[in-house]
A and B are shown apart, each in its own frame.
Chain A
Amino acid sequence: MDILSSLMDGFATALTPINLLYALIGVILGTAVGVLPGIGPAMTVALLLPVTYVLEPTSAFIMFAGIYYGGMYGGSTTSILLNTPGESSSVITAIEGNKMAKAGRAAQALATAAIGSFVAGTIGTALLVVFAPIVVQFAVSLGSPSYFAIMILALLAVTAVLGASRLRGFASLGLGLAIGLVGIDSVSGQRRLTFGQPLLADGLDIVVVAVAIFAVGEALWVAAHLRRTPLQIIPVGRPWMGKEDWKRSWKPWLRGTALGFPFGALPAGGAEIPTFLSYVTEKRLSKHPEEFGKGAIEGVAGPEAANNAAAAGTLTPMLALGLPTNATAAVMLAAFVQFGIQPGPLLFANEGPLVWALIASLFIGNTLLLLVNLPLAPVWAKLLRLPRPYLYAGILFFATLGAYSVNLQSFDLVILLVLGALGFMMRRYGLPVLPLILGVILGPRLEKQLRQTLQLSAGDVSGLWSEPIAVVVYILVGIILVWPLLLKTWRRARPRQLAAVGTFADSPLVDGPLADSPTAARSTAHSPTAADSTAARDRQAVATDGQENADTHADTHVSNGQEKQ
């Protein structure tokens, strides 16, 4: 009952006219940036951070919540109307959604995506309400050793499990941790990596780092490879669904939600695996399996719901433990810190009203999304026609403005350019961006927990595994690290003819729906190291079937268009 009354208080805060307005702004802004190529919710939240200083933290977070869910929705619109998914979690939506759109069923595809997102988002947020306090109850009993272990797990999981190349993930993580080191060490007061530059003493502002990597890096990267032929955008009217579509959609929505939430809530969450699993499940259960690959509505409904439920799930560790597992959550965590709010299990106790208003606004945002976006879909489709020079010049313009307004010093703009060049290089050579951002944000907190742990044990290293939870977590870490090796040995042990049948015999249900999409065309890069491609295994299964041959032996990557930041 306690939770319910807190939630009601949250609704009371979130439903004031001014906060409703911020929720509406957030939802519209979020959808717009989700629709537009090149910008995503994480970048938008980062850009808005300096602007929101003048707001109440509650209003700011209500707006961020709208951006978070809106961005997810906008991403699916783009992948249905264009055949190029902007983020890895909407790759699956693009498969069936775009086929549906091409077959003249764009309105139904958009409708099932929107309503499915609403259903999944609402159920997911309800699950968040139920589970977050339980996690908190469990988490307040944890000490520094457990926290340290959990943070290590989150960093490793994001680095090693998501993304195509573990090696490149670790390189990116290292860079992020190094960036996080810059500045005065809070305990000993010594300057680290400041090179005598007083402006670096306070460390690099997270807004500047995030904007540089997400916005400037992206703008430069797209500029280098700007598509000169305009993309084909499928025109669309107002989304609607017939009776048959409803009948075929509602079960996939619920199943997608059930798959998405737990994966999102795990430290190694992310929406790619559940969207893929949902697709495979729907295909297996469908009464119309022959339609899959040609525009089956279940193939849009399920993955879209999984995507949104995962987004809600991600907020569980973010709010309950202070542990972000995707880029937007990471920037929101940075926002907590900027507002002087300490993230972690005490958040619910110390900032109860704010957290519950944020959660209430997730419900409100979800409803607003549905109400606003069904009629606005044609407008979003028009937004896709925005001339690219203006779009990318605008990104650079607002990136500069956002980064500059933090401290009003042009030195930050130099950093912005340097890190923007780094972001460009990372995109060129396939270094994932997420480990870097998490490294920057979690690095300093990781170090703090490490120091507290060893302080408690008076310098004894065994203090690191002095709590049972820490031991369990380290075992998980160990499994994640040796998993590719195990997989490799297991494969070698299997008879060769099995490999010839297809390395992905474990997912025989997928028969190359991507075969003629650009994603598949780009996915034929080979890499000799097994460590490099194990992580992408599940997704490979979607893309490589059909072009897989036994000789090249499985080292095929999906070009995982990274999560749009």
Chain B
Amino acid sequence: MTSLSSRLKGRSELGVAALLGAAGALVLLDAARLVTPYSQSDPVGPKTLPVIVGALLLVSAVMLAVNVLRGGHGEAEAGEDVDLSHPADWKTVLPLAGAFIANILLIDWAGWVISGTVLFWGSVWALGSRHYVRDGLISLALALLTFYGFYLGLGIALPAGLLEGIL
């Protein structure tokens, strides 16, 4: 057990292999459900590509798992603002995702102006800005500007939601 757990330690990349495997299995299962009517005009049928793709995913899953267990690992992506010397900072990512989800829940009901404000303000806060009032004003201005910009400039009516009639 200890050898297994020590081998698994630091091998979170196996999760990627598992995900690839699951995706491959899903594609294959879905393909199995398809019916292939015999057809002169379409000898390939709708099944062929899914089967190939599913197989590709499964093979990469297995090979990735082997690679990771033998000590390989993917190179995390670098960038101008990326500092890989500290571990992933979930205290930033989770609130950020929270702001995003809040927008999804609010957008149809409360409208873009409100949900967009929440999204931007929440994101800025999650990313570490603490100028509550200034950020709030910027958020509201951005949301209003895009709302009217899309409506007047592009003819795309973003949902007005609760503010229907006011905007």
Contact = CB atoms under 8 A, between A and B. Distances in A.
A222 B79 contact: yes
Contacts of A446: 49
Interface in B45-79: 45-46, 48-50, 53-54, 56-57, 60-61, 63-64, 67, 70-79
B41 A455 contact: yes
B165 interface: no
Interface in B64-97: 64, 67, 70-84, 86, 88-90, 92-93, 96-97
Nearest to A51: B154
B71, B90, B96: residue with the most chain A Cβ atoms closer than 10 Å: B96
B119 interface: yes
A413 interface: yes
A234 to B, nearest CB: 14
A444 to B, nearest CB: 9
Contacts of B50: 181, 192-193
B158 A561 contact: no
B35 interface: yes
Given A188-B46, A396-B100, A224 B93 contact: yes
B47 to A, nearest CB: 9
Contacts of B40: 458
Nearest to B68: A429
- How many of chain A's residues touch chain B, expressed as a range? 35 or more
A168 B116 CA distance: 36
A188 B42 contact: yes
Interface in A495-531: 518-519, 522, 525-529
A274 interface: no
Contacts of A526: 71
Contacts of A175: 20, 23, 57
Interface residues of B, number: 83
Given A168-B74, A425-B16, A455-B43, A193 B84 contact: no
Interface stretch (A21-29, A59-67, A342-350, A385-393): A385-393
B108 A410 contact: yes
A417 interface: yes
A388 B78 contact: no
A163 to B, nearest CB: 10
A303 interface: no
Contact of A86 (B61, B79, B116, B138): B79
A336 interface: no
Interface string B129-167: 100000000100010001000100111101100000000
Contacts of A564: 79
Name the residue in B74, B80, B129, B154 with the highest tally of chain A Cβ atoms < 10 Å from its Cβ.
Answer: B80
A413 B48 CA distance: 31
B8 interface: no
A223 B104 contact: no
A229 B81 CA distance: 10
Contact of B53 (A181, A388, A451, A559): A181
Nearest to A457: B43
Nearest to A533: B72
Contacts of A220: 93, 96-97
A226 B159 CA distance: 33
Interface string B97-125: 10111011001100010001001100110
Contacts of A522: 75, 78, 84
Interface stretch (A124-132, A400-408, A470-478, A479-487): A400-408
A427 B34 contact: no
Interface string A210-240: 0000001011111111111101000000000
B126 A223 contact: yes
A454 interface: yes
B142 to A, nearest CB: 6
Of B75, B93, B107, B159, which is in contact with the most chain A CB atoms at under 10 Å from its CB?
B75
A228 B97 CA distance: 20
Contacts of B46: 185, 187-188, 190, 192
A525 B45 CA distance: 44
B92 A223 contact: yes
Given A54-B155, A175-B20, A397-B120, A451 B44 contact: yes
Contacts of A203: none
Interface string A34-54: 000110000000000011011
Q: Which one of A168, A429, A451 has the greatest number of beta carbons of chain B within 10 Å?
A: A429
Contact of A227 (B34, B72, B76, B82): B82
Closest 3 A/B residue pairs (Cβ): A430-B74, A459-B43, A37-B80
Interface of B: 13, 16, 19-20, 23-24, 26-27, 30-31, 34-37, 40-46, 48-50, 53-54, 56-57, 60-61, 63-64, 67, 70-84, 86, 88-90, 92-93, 96-97, 99-101, 103-104, 107-108, 112, 116, 119-120, 123-124, 126-129, 138, 142, 146, 150, 153-156, 158-159
15 contacts: A37-B80, A84-B78, A167-B60, A168-B74, A171-B64, A178-B27, A218-B79, A224-B88, A227-B81, A405-B158, A417-B101, A431-B16, A443-B49, A519-B78, A527-B67
Given A37-B80, A396-B119, A447-B44, 17 more contacts: A54-B154, A54-B155, A78-B80, A178-B27, A188-B37, A216-B100, A222-B82, A223-B126, A226-B89, A387-B129, A396-B99, A396-B123, A397-B116, A400-B100, A443-B49, A519-B78, A527-B71
